[in-house]
Amino acid sequence: MSDKTIKVEHFKNLVAVAAADGFLDENEMDFLTEKAEEIGISKEDVDTIISQKDKLQFMVPMNMVDREDQLADIVYMSMIDGEIHDNEYQLCLNIAERLGLTKSDLDEAVDLTKRLWEK
């Protein structure tokens, strides 16, 4: 799988998680826009992916670094309003397990995100 394909799959996963509650709010859209720019996805590709948000299937990355990066981004997006609600935590836990990661890995990502925001 090419590096670009991996980045697009990562972005699609983020959109799928962001849209899990049925809509994308302004904070989620801002984060997705920043992430797309960071990983080099064009505005046209972003618009196409977002327009298909209800049809996206979560894809598990092949290597552990990509899995951990995705979990970190998913936790960040879940906490974008300043906290992680029970349903968001359960969704993150479900995704962590699908990524082959543990509850402990998820809790570590949540704690790290909280510490980063406190600075």
Domains present along the chain, CATH in parentheses: 3-118 (1.10.3680.10)
What integer pLDDT is reported at residue 119 of this predicted model? 66
Indicate the SS3 state at residue 48: helix
List the pLDDT tens digit at each of the 119 positions of the chain: 678 888 899 899 899 888 877 778 888 899 999 999 999 999 999 999 999 988 888 888 888 999 999 999 999 988 887 788 888 898 899 999 999 999 999 999 999 999 987 86
Contact 15, 56 (CB under 8 A): yes
Torsional sign, CA 98, 104, 107, 109: negative
What integer pLDDT is reported at residue 56 of this predicted model? 87
In whole angstroms, what is the distance from residue 92 CA to residue 75 CA? Answer: 7
